[in-house]
C-alpha cells in the first residue's frame, strides 16, 4: 500500500512544482504573441540539448520552456490557462516544435510522412544557425531596395541579407517578401543587433501556399500590421470543419514591430524542407510609391478584426440553430417511420375483411420453369418447320429463269 501511494503522489507533486508559464518565459500576462515567441527562442537557444549535452538540469529547463511556450503560443490554451490554470490544459495534446537538424534520418522521414498526410508539423530554426548568428559567425550579403535576388538555400541552413534605409524610407515603410516557385518550405527571419555585435532572432514568418507558390512577408508600415497563423486553422479543421470556419481568424495576431528606424536591417531566409534545398526569391521594397496600398491594407485589416468579433457571436447562434435542426431532422425521420408503420397496419386490417380463401399464386420461378419445358418441347417442331421453309425457298443452281418469246419460232 505505501508503495502505491508514493507512485500516485508523483504526478501530483509534479503538477504542484509546475511554474507559471509567464514566469518561465519571463514575460507579462499582456504580452503579445511575438514577444512570447522572442522570449521562447532566446531561452530555447540557451538551454538547447545540443549546447548542453551533459547537463541534465539544462534539459529539464528546456522541457519546461517548451511546455510553457506550447500553452502560451496557442490562443485557446492560453485563454484556458488564464481562466482555470493547468487543470484546463491537456499536456498530452501539446504540439512540439521540431528542430529538423537534430533529428536522425528515420525520424525526419516519419515527420515528412506525417506532414504529407496533413498533420501540422511545427519546426523551429536550427540551434546551430541561431548560435552562429548570435556569435557573429555568419556571412551577411547586401540587398538593394527594389532589386529581387533568386538563390537556393540548403535544408536547415540560412542566407542573411542586410538592407540600408534612409530616414524618408523608414517613415514611408518597408516590405520584405519571399516566394518560392517550386513550393519549397522556408522561413523568413528578421534579426536585431545584439550588444556584442551578433544577431538575435526577433521575427519569424513561416511560408504558406498562396496559389502556385509558397510565400512569406513582413510589413513595417508605421501602424499595427497583422499576421495569420495557418497552423491553428489546419489543426481545428482536422477535428471539426465547423470549428475550422469559426476559428479561421483566431490566428490573426498583431506583429511585434510596426516600423523600422533608419540604418541597417538584417533579414534571412531559412531552408525548411525535410530533405531537399529550397529555391527562393527575396525582395525588399520601400513603400513610398505604395501609399494607396497602405491605406487599403489598414482598412481591410480593421474590417477583419470587426469580422472576427462578429464571427464569435455568430458561432453561438449557429450552434443553437444547428442543435434545433439536428433535433428536427431526427424527429422528421421518426415521424415518417411511424406514419408508414400505421398505414401498413391499416392496409393489413382492410385486407382481413373477407371469407374467401387466400389466393395461391404460383411463383415466378415455377412459371419460368413451365415456360422453359414447353420451349424445349416445341423447339424441334419449330426447327423442322423452319428447315422445310428454307428448302422450298432455296433455288438450285440449274433453275435458271429464261424469258422466251413464244411468238417467234426457234
- Give the pLDDT confidence score for residue 306 in this predicted structure: 92
Q: 77 Cβ partners below 8 Å, 6+ apart? A: 70, 71, 89
Q: 346 Cβ partners below 8 Å, 6+ apart? A: none
Distance CA 257, CA 268 (A): 16
Q: What is the DSSP code string of 230-284?
A: HHHHHHHHHH-HHHHHHTTTTTEEE-S-----SEEEEEEEEE--SSS-EEEEEEE
- Give the pLDDT confidence score for residue 60 in this predicted structure: 83
- Give the pLDDT confidence score for residue 90 in this predicted structure: 55
Residues 233, 234, 240: CA angle, nearest 5 degrees: 80
- Give the pLDDT confidence score for residue 164 in this predicted structure: 94
Distance CA 198, CA 330 (A): 66
Digit-coded pLDDT (tens) for 79-98: 888 877 776 665 444 455 55
Element (H, E) at 336: helix 291-351
Domains along the chain with CATH numbers: 21-123 (1.10.287.110), 138-223+258-288 (2.60.120.380)
pTM of the predicted structure, to 2 decimals: 0.60
List, run by run, the mean pLDDT of 10-residue segments along the chain (410 residues).
43 60 89 82 78 78 83 79 72 50 53 52 78 89 94 92 93 93 91 85 86 91 81 59 80 76 94 86 93 91 91 89 90 93 92 78 57 56 54 52 52
Distance CA 116, CA 223 (A): 37
Rounded to an integer, what is the distance from CA 228 to the centroid of its chain? 13
Burial of 278 (0-12, 13-18, 19+ CB in 10 A): buried
Distance CA 27, CA 41 (A): 13
b/e 51-73 (16+ beta carbons within 10 angstroms → b): eeeeeeebeebbebbbbbbbbbb
Classified as helix, coil or strand, 95 is: coil
- Give the pLDDT confidence score for residue 405 in this predicted structure: 53
| DSSP annotation of 286 | E
Q: 35 Cβ partners below 8 Å, 6+ apart? A: 27, 256
Distance CA 276, CA 295 (A): 40
- Give the pLDDT confidence score for residue 201 in this predicted structure: 85
Q: What is the DSSP code string of 104-144?
A: -HHHHHHHHHHHHTT---EE---HHHHHHHHTT-S-EEE--
Angle between helices 56-72 and 75-84 (to 10 degrees): 100
Q: 59 Cβ partners below 8 Å, 6+ apart? A: 47, 49, 52
- Phi then psi for 18, rounded to 5 degrees? -65, 135
Amino acid at each position: 500500500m505505501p508503495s502505491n501511494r508514493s507512485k500516485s503522489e508523483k504526478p501530483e507533486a509534479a503538477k504542484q512544482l509546475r511554474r507559471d508559464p509567464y514566469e518561465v518565459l519571463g514575460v507579462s500576462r499582456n504580452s503579445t504573441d511575438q514577444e512570447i515567441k522572442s522570449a521562447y527562442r532566446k531561452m530555447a537557444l540557451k538551454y538547447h540539448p545540443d549546447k548542453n549535452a551533459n547537463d541534465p538540469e539544462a534539459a529539464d529547463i528546456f522541457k519546461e520552456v517548451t511546455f510553457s511556450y506550447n500553452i502560451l503560443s496557442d490562443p485557446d490554451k492560453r485563454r484556458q490557462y488564464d481562466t482555470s490554470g493547468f487543470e484546463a490544459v491537456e499536456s498530452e495534446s501539446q504540439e512540439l516544435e521540431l528542430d529538423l537538424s537534430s533529428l536522425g534520418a528515420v525520424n525526419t522521414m516519419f515527420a515528412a510522412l506525417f506532414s504529407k498526410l496533413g498533420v501540422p508539423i511545427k519546426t523551429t530554426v536550427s540551434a546551430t544557425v541561431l548560435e552562429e548568428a548570435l556569435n557573429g559567425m555568419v556571412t551577411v550579403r547586401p540587398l538593394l531596395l527594389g532589386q529581387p535576388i533568386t538563390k537556393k538555400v540548403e535544408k536547415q541552413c540560412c542566407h542573411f541579407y542586410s538592407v540600408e534605409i534612409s530616414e524618408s524610407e523608414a517613415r514611408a515603410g518597408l516590405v520584405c517578401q519571399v516566394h518560392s516557385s517550386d513550393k519549397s518550405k522556408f522561413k523568413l527571419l528578421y534579426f536585431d543587433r545584439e550588444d556584442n555585435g551578433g544577431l538575435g532572432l526577433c521575427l519569424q514568418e513561416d511560408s504558406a501556399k498562396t496559389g502556385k507558390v509558397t510565400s512569406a512577408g513582413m510589413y513595417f508600415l508605421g501602424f499595427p500590421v497583422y499576421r495569420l497563423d495557418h497552423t491553428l486553422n489546419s489543426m481545428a479543421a482536422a477535428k471539426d470543419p465547423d470549428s475550422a470556419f469559426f476559428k479561421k481568424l483566431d490566428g490573426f495576431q498583431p506583429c511585434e514591430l510596426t516600423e523600422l528606424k533608419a540604418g541597417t536591417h538584417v533579414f534571412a531566409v531559412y531552408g525548411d524542407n525535410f530533405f531537399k534545398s529550397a529555391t527562393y526569391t527575396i525582395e525588399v521594397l520601400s513603400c513610398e510609391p505604395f501609399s494607396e496600398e497602405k491605406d487599403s491594407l489598414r482598412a481591410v485589416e480593421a474590417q477583419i478584426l470587426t469580422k472576427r468579433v462578429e464571427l464569435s457571436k455568430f458561432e453561438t447562434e449557429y450552434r443553437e440553430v444547428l442543435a434545433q435542426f439536428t433535433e428536427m431532422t431526427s424527429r422528421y425521420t421518426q415521424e415518417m417511420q411511424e406514419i408508414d408503420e400505421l398505414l401498413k397496419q391499416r392496409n393489413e386490417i382492410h385486407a382481413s375483411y373477407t371469407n374467401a380463401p387466400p389466393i395461391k399464386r404460383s411463383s415466378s420461378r415455377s412459371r419460368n420453369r413451365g415456360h422453359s419445358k414447353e420451349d424445349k418441347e416445341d423447339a424441334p417442331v419449330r426447327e423442322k418447320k423452319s428447315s422445310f421453309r428454307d428448302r422450298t425457298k432455296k433455288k438450285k443452281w440449274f433453275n435458271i429463269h429464261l424469258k422466251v418469246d413464244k411468238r417467234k419460232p426457234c
